[in-house]
Amino acid sequence: MSTALKPLLPGSTLGVLGGGQLGRMWAHAAQRMGYNTAVLDPDAQSPAGLVSHHHIHTDYLDAAGLKQLAAVCQAVTTEFENVPADALAQLAATLPVSPAASAVAVAQDRAREKAHFVKCGVPVAPHAVIDTPEQLAAVNDNLLPGILKTSRMGYDGKGQLRVTTRDELNAGWAKLGKVPCVLEKMLPLASECSVIVARGRDGVMVNLPVQRNLHRDGILAVTEVFAGNVPDVLAQQAIEAAKAVAQELNYVGVLCVEFFVLADGALVVNEIAPRPHNSGHYSQDACDVSQFELQVRTMADLPLTQPRLHSPAFMLNLLGDLWFANTNAAQVEPAWQKVLALPGTHLHLYGKTEARVGRKMGHLNITAPTPEAARAAALQAAAILG
């Protein structure tokens, strides 16, 4: 690829592999700027496919589907990390693909991810890679109690087991199918945070402010963003670490880096996502440029400017559970009219008709003039939703 960047101007067609909610919000951002969008996803009802100009319903590795995508668009991105890196590599033969297959391949594999963090000099949890029975037997006792995680395909706490003893570790590896895993020492977490960076093909990098995240049952529940949500020194460390991780991958696109803050105040990097992230959704309503617009800009080689948080914000994830909050059987639409009566509430729903427990249906961004007011509105909204 030439180094002189010629931007893809509005009117061009941008493509995405994957049709979930992240693809849908990316499509909305792209369309707002005058781009056409194309989605490749096997599901005919995919949230992004439903709002795009082109929807190719094939498997991610279907040669004809990939050819069709390449024919209708001028650049391609991905909205989830488990898209086969091969599909990205195939597309890259004929058009710009960001992030690159090589970067996505690192994010897809916890063992490679950890090795990358070590290479960047960023602190990681003590861990061991377990691909073979010999490696399992050689695990050091000081990693217990720990969390055994499959190296590939885990998300939202899936593909993970907490293990306290060696017997539990052995049984756990068998239960996970003896697939390649990483055992991580269980760390005393004081809090969790994340940083989203966007990096252009020219190496320019910008970042969203540090997000403080609260999880419930392994799934992100709440993100809080305002000045002082985490101590300044930690925020600075996290931003620098996130940039180092992106830089070292020669990353192009939007990258989320998740961190643990330990009880003693130390910062440890947890994992990366090679795409916009649930913890960055607040940027749609609280920043002057959203993570989805940043994704559009990076893939179109448009300028990146440092995002500015203009309002303290809380993001509440809306899981399918809410549709059953007041009934055990029938799906009932939550009382949006009551939630939207609160000032500064911004409702985002992903167009999924079937609510299921644990399924991400949407999110609510709450902005206010002060963190206290945003928190109070978030508590009221949560009480209304049950």
Residues that bind ligand ADP in the complex, under the rule CB under 6 A? 125, 147, 149, 154-157, 184, 186-187, 189, 192, 215, 218, 258, 270-271
* Residue 125 φ then ψ, to 5°: -65, 145
CA distance 185 to 163: 10
If the CB atoms of residues 95 and 186 are measured against ligand ADP, the closer one turns out to be: 186
Q: How far is the CB of 184 from ligand ADP (least distance, A)?
A: 4
250 is in an annotated binding site: no
Pick 55 or 212: Cβ nearer ligand ADP = 212
Query: Per the annotation, does 185 bind a ligand?
Result: yes
CB of 192 to ligand ADP, least distance (A): 5
Is 53 assigned a ligand-binding role in the annotation? no
372 labelled as ligand-binding? no
Q: What angle do CA 336, 341, 344 make, to 5 degrees?
A: 100
Instruction: Give the CA diameter of the chain.
Output: 60
For residues 340 and 360, give the distance between their C-alpha atoms in angstroms, rounded to a whole number: 19
- In the complex, the smallest distance separating the C-beta of residue 281 from ligand ADP, rounded to whole angstroms, is 16
Our CB check for ligand ADP shows the closer of 259 and 314 to be 259
Tokens of 98: 């960001």
Place of tokens 């590795």: 61
Nearer to ligand ADP by Cβ, of 147 and 339: the residue is 147
Q: Which residues pair with 273 in a beta bridge?
A: 256
Give bridge partners of residue 313 from the DSSP assignment: 225, 367
Residue 142 labelled as part of a binding site: no
Nearer to ligand ADP, 144 or 186 (CB): 186
6 known ligand binder: no
- CB-nearer residue toward ligand ADP: 156 or 168: 156
User: Does the annotation list 110 as a binding residue?
Assistant: yes
156 is in an annotated binding site: yes
Tell me the three state secondary structure of residue 228.
Answer: coil
Whether residue 113 is annotated as binding a ligand: the answer is no
Q: Is 386 annotated as a binding residue?
A: no
Query: Which has the closest alpha carbon to 257: 123, 97, 70?
Result: 123
User: Based on CB atoms, which residue is closest to ligand ADP, 43 or 156?
Assistant: 156
Q: Measured from the CB of residue 109, what is the shortest distance to ligand ADP in angstroms?
A: 12
What is the closest distance, in whole angstroms, from the C-beta atom of residue 343 to ligand ADP in the complex? 31
Cα angle for residues 251, 54, 348 (degrees, 5° grid): 70
Can you tell me the distance from the alpha carbon of 248 to that of 380, in angstroms, rounded to the nearest whole number? Answer: 43
Cβ–Cβ < 8 Å for 287, 263: no
Tell me the closest approach of the beta carbon of residue 266 to ligand ADP, in angstroms.
13
> Which residues make Cβ contacts (< 8 Å) with residue 11, sequence separation at least 6?
34, 35, 36
CB closer to ligand ADP out of 32 and 162: 162
Distant-in-sequence, close-in-space partners of 72: CB < 8 Å, separation ≥ 6:
13, 15, 38, 54
Q: How far is the CB of 110 from ligand ADP (least distance, A)?
A: 8
State the Cα–Cα distance between residues 284 and 348, nearest whole angstrom.
10
CB of 155 to ligand ADP, least distance (A): 5
Rounded (to 5) percent helix, strand, coil in the chain:
35, 25, 40
CA atoms of 155 and 166, how far apart (whole Å): 25
Binding residues, by number, are 110, 149, 154-160, 184-187, 192, 215, 270-271
Residues making up the annotated binding site for ATP are 110, 149, 154-160, 184-187, 192, 215, 270-271
